[in-house]
Amino acid sequence: MHPALSSAGGPHEPKSHCPFRLYRRGYPSYPAQTETVLSYVEAQAGVERIKVSLDLAFGIALNQQGFLMARIDGTGDRLYDSSDCLQLNLYLYSLGLRYYPTTTGFYLDAGAGASRTVLQASTGETSASEFGFGYGIAAGYDFAAAPRGFGLSLEARYLGLEIGSDQAGALMLTIDLCWK
């Protein structure tokens, strides 16, 4: 579930953004050394690798076309076998703006904030990086013809993340069922 809620004030009708995630796929990219280790472990017999992603976004309408957005975006990899697992997550905590040139249809979204990596093991061990700088940019299309009611949106989002002295990123593709 993806509660990205916004409400317009004043004379505009209330508008919410995409509370139900129908499809989300994340494609994280890591520094070469990290990707080499993940690929090596994945190549071992009995080890599976899945890519995961999530987001949580809330918006406040500035006007009918613009929204102030607070987001948490996360993506990562989970490596597991029959008894153990290791999960590497990339997170971005950001504030930004979403702009609709018209009330519905095409939109642009950009934000910046703090990024972090968290490594978790099935043994209960957890390790987190220091916070670094991160940004997210997105383009999407809201298929709803009206500013209120059910709708469907399609979005592509890129995250650029600073993790220590390294850079990581993620491409996220989503399809959302929206109630506005």
Q: Please write the tens of the pLDDT for every residue from 7-29.
A: 333 334 434 454 455 566 778 88
Q: With contact defined as beta carbons under 8 Å apart, do 171 and 157 qualify?
A: yes
**Domain count across the chain:** 1
Residue 110 structural domain: 20-179
What is the pLDDT at residue 11?
A: 38
Ranges 66-70, 114-118, 146-150, most confident: 114-118
Q: With contact defined as beta carbons under 8 Å apart, do 150 and 178 qualify?
A: yes
107 inside domain: yes
Looking up residue 140, the CATH number of its domain turns out to be 2.40.160.20
Tell me what the mean pLDDT of segment 49-78 comes to.
87
Q: How confident is the model at residue 53 (pLDDT cuts 50, 70, 90)?
A: confident
3 inside domain: no
Tell me what the mean pLDDT of segment 84-105 comes to.
91
Q: What percent of the chain has pLDDT over 90?
A: 43
12 inside domain: no
Amino acid at 69: M
Q: Is the pLDDT at 54 greater than 50, yes or no? A: yes
What is the pLDDT at residue 113?
A: 98
Q: With contact defined as beta carbons under 8 Å apart, do 129 and 90 qualify?
A: no
What is the pLDDT at residue 175?
A: 84
Q: Is the pLDDT at 163 greater than 90, yes or no? A: no
What is the pLDDT at residue 30?
A: 87
Tens of pLDDT, residue by residue over 72-86, are: 999 988 999 988 999
What is the pLDDT at residue 83?
A: 87
9 inside domain: no
15 inside domain: no
Tens of pLDDT, residue by residue over 103-131, are: 778 999 999 999 999 999 999 999 999 99
Question: 61-75 as b/e, with b when 16 or more CB fall inside 10 Å?
Answer: beebbbbebbbebbb
What is the pLDDT at residue 15?
A: 43
